[in-house]
């Protein structure tokens, strides 16, 4: 049973999904709050790096490593215990698109995974469109890479607020870990949170969802099963729990992926929830874990699979949160035209993989025949927040429309954007200027020197 749009919309009274220009400040009530308070507190400025990266997914890791490689002092803030975002805590275990030529940070990640036999062999895109890896080991590879590059890492630490001055200049971010709230004063900030937390909190313009109704690309839960003897398998859905899947027609889109010996990962589509809303995301997690047992029960009971539940990823996989409006908004038309830019700093090749937002079946926004794109470029301007002086972004929250995101969201392209954002931030620090005042050809040249293939 999929949620009706009505259910979605009332639940996401929790956070309007329509494209917004300037979100309310974080901490403000999301809906019709009966009451409001103002609070203030004096906190220490604990960290003063050149570059602060908020969010430690693949984009954030690439940004932090690249900025450090350029000689900047870098702080990376991650809300969870481990680095990697969708690729680790989200349980996604495949690099899609072209894995060669994404830049030296991504090359080093691949080389480390190869050393420990944790990634499948390279084949050029489109001969192969993905490489599987071990997501538990990736978390360790990423953390070690950051430490080698001397990036200061804060785990279990959440970005919570921002101080913005004249001209959209961010002076400090407020983060909160177990030591309580502390300020980070940096020269350049890079929002890699996926949900554009920094930009939304700053009140900078963001875009969300599809234009007609604001519905985001669906989330998916990654669940894991162990192959066991038939008598050790389920069923694991006791009578009266949830809503068992009775037949194939009511099974949500479920893709079965490899997950090492005697194991599989199941990717289960969970549409119609808003990842930028506290209650929306909570409901998505609850729904996803229930759905996991319902789907597993179907495979065990109806299809007689000798599988045992081996857990699911700590957090649901999020394809779309919010995208920051940049100096340029990359569009579907740009991708279809294989548009090249003078200030190109990244390249994408992956098809327009836009899962349909309003049902849980194997449906897509575009027909299969319309999904392929020629290689296209992403300009530096799509990584510079329009309303900010010193805010860059990379990864899922870059400046593009929903269908541009449906391709550019793959990890390879997110890594490439991250590396470019890190290079631009560090260069801006060196030149004592802001990213939009840089000569974009200088950023492009460094991207090329560091192994980023733009054509
Ligand atoms: C179900 C699913 C399957 C996918 N399959 C593939 C695939 O097979 N191949 C592929 O290449 N791509 C795939 N993708 C896409 C890809 O995994 C992601 O788009 C990409 O990894 C996003 O990287 P990111 O760094 O932009 O964001 P994320 O990975 O989401 O990283 C954001 C990071 O910021 C942190 N963060 C968020 N808010 C805060 C805050 N306030 N304070 C501090 N930290 C914060 C998060 O914890 C997270 O670590 C898939 C995505 C999903 C959801």
DSSP assignment of 139-172, as one string?
HHHHHHHHHHTT-EEE-S-EEEEEEE-GGG-EEE
Distance from residue 240's CA to the centre of ligand 1 (Å): 35
Distance from residue 447's CA to the centre of ligand 1 (Å): 22
C-alpha span between 73 and 76 (Å, rounded): 10
pLDDT at 448: 98
Closest CA to 223 of 247, 252, 195, 250: 252
Distance from residue 247's CA to the centre of ligand 1 (Å): 32
Atom 37 in ligand 1: which residue has the minimum CA distance? 193
Residue 187 contacts residue 166 (beta carbons within 8 Å): no
Quick count: other Cβ atoms within 10 Å of Cβ 333?
11
C-alpha span between 52 and 191 (Å, rounded): 9
Query: Residue 270 is encoded by which pair of tokens?
Result: 């969970």
What are the respective helix, strand and coil percentages of the chain, to the nearest 5? 30, 25, 45
pLDDT at 32: 63
pLDDT at 236: 73
Question: Closest ligand 1 atom, CA of 175?
Answer: 42
C-alpha span between 175 and 159 (Å, rounded): 4
Q: Where are the alpha helices (DSSP H) in 12-154?
A: 58-69, 104-115, 135-148
Distance from residue 414's CA to the centre of ligand 1 (Å): 9
Residues paired with residue 207 on neighbouring β-strands, in sequence order: 323
pLDDT at 346: 98
User: HSE-up of 234 (CA within 13 Å, CB side)?
Assistant: 24
Query: Residue 305 is encoded by which pair of tokens?
Result: 């699979």
Quick count: other Cβ atoms within 10 Å of Cβ 305?
18
Which residue from 65, 85, 159 has its CB within 8 A of the most atoms of ligand 1, so it is best to mutate?
85
Q: Which residue reads 């874990």 in tokens?
A: 289
Q: Which residues line ligand 1 (CB under 6 A)?
A: 54-60, 77-80, 85-87, 90, 92, 94-96, 130, 158-159, 192-195, 197, 220, 267, 317-319, 395-396, 409-412, 414
Q: How far is CA 336 from CA 374, 412, 413, in A?
A: 7, 19, 16
Distance from residue 83's CA to the centre of ligand 1 (Å): 10
User: HSE-up of 347 (CA within 13 Å, CB side)?
Assistant: 22
Domains observed in the chain: 45-210+320-449 (3.50.50.60), 219-312 (no CATH)
* pLDDT string in tens for the chain (455-residue length): 333 343 333 333 333 333 322 233 333 345 567 799 999 999 999 999 999 999 999 999 999 999 999 999 999 999 999 999 999 999 999 999 999 999 999 999 999 999 999 999 999 999 999 999 999 999 999 999 999 999 999 999 999 999 999 999 999 999 999 999 999 999 999 999 999 999 999 999 999 999 999 999 999 999 999 999 998 987 778 888 999 998 999 999 999 999 999 999 999 999 999 999 999 999 999 999 999 999 999 999 999 999 999 999 999 999 999 999 999 999 999 999 999 999 999 999 999 999 999 999 999 999 999 999 999 999 999 999 999 999 999 999 999 999 999 999 999 999 999 999 999 999 999 999 999 999 999 999 999 999 999 99
Q: What is the CA radius of gyration of the chain?
A: 21
C-alpha span between 258 and 262 (Å, rounded): 9
Contacts of 269 (CB under 8 A, 6+ apart): 218, 219, 220, 252, 253, 254, 355, 360, 361, 362
Quick count: other Cβ atoms within 10 Å of Cβ 236?
14
Question: Closest ligand 1 atom, CA of 59?
Answer: 25
pLDDT at 53: 99
C-alpha span between 336 and 358 (Å, rounded): 24
C-alpha span between 424 and 440 (Å, rounded): 8
pLDDT at 237: 87
Q: What is the pTM of this model?
A: 0.94
**Which value, to the nearest 10 degrees, does the dihedral of the CA atoms of residues 409, 411, 412, 418 take?**
80
Which residue from 54, 56, 57, 78 has its CB within 8 A of the most atoms of ligand 1, so it is best to mutate?
57
Atom 14 in ligand 1: which residue has the minimum CA distance? 410
């Amino acid at each position: 049973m999929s949620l009706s749009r009505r259910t979605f919309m009332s639940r996401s009274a929790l956070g309007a999904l329509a494209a917004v220009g300037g979100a309310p400040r974080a901490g403000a009530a999301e809906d019709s709050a009966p009451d409001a308070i103002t609070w203030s507190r004096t906190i220490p400025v604990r960290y003063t790096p050149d570059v602060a990266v908020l969010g430690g997914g693949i984009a954030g890791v690439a940004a932090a490593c690249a900025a450090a490689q350029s000689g900047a002092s870098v702080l990376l803030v991650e809300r969870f215990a481990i680095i990697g975002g969708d690729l680790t805590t989200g349980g996604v275990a495949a690099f899609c698109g072209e894995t060669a030529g994404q830049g030296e940070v991504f090359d080093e990640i691949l080389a480390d995974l190869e050393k420990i036999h944790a990634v499948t062999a390279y084949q050029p895109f489109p001969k192969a469109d993905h490489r599987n890896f071990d997501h538990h080991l990736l978390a360790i590879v990423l953390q070690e890479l950051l430490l080698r590059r001397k990036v200061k890492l804060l785990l279990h630490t959440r970005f919570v607020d921002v101080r913005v001055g004249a001209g959209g200049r961010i002076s400090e971010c407020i983060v909160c870990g177990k030591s309580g709230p502390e300020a980070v004063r940096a020269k350049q900030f890079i929002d890699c949170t996926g949900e554009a937390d920094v930009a939304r909190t700053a009140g900078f313009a963001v875009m969300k969802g599809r234009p007609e109704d604001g519905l985001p690309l669906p989330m998916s839960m990654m669940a894991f099963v162990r192959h066991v003897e038939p008598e050790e398998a389920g069923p694991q859905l006791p009578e009266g729990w949830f809503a068992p899947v009775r037949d194939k027609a009511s099974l949500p889109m479920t893709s079965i992926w490899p997950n090492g010996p005697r194991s599989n990962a199941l990717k289960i589509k969970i549409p119609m929830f808003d990842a930028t809303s506290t209650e929306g995301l909570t409901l998505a997690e609850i729904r996803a874990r229930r759905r996991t047992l319902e789907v597993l029960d179907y495979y065990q009971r109806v299809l007689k699979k000798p599988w045992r539940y081996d857990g699911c990823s700590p957090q649901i996989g999020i394809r779309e949160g919010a995208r920051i409006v940049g100096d340029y908004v990359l569009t579907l038309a740009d991708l279809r035209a294989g548009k090249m830019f003078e200030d190109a700093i990244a390249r994408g090749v992956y098809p327009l993989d836009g899962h349909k937002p309003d049902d849980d079946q194997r449906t897509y926004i575009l027909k299969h025949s319309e999904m392929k794109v020629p290689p296209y470029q992403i300009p530096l301007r799509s990584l510079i927040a329009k309303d900010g002086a010193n805010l860059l972004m990379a990864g899922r929250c870059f400046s593009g429309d929903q269908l541009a995101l449906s391709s550019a969201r793959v990890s390879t392209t997110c890594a490439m954007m991250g590396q470019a954002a890190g290079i631009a931030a560090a260069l801006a620090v060196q030149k004592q200027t802001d990213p939009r005042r840089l000569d974009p050809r200088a950023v492009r040249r460094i991207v090329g020197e560091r192994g980023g293939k733009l054509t």
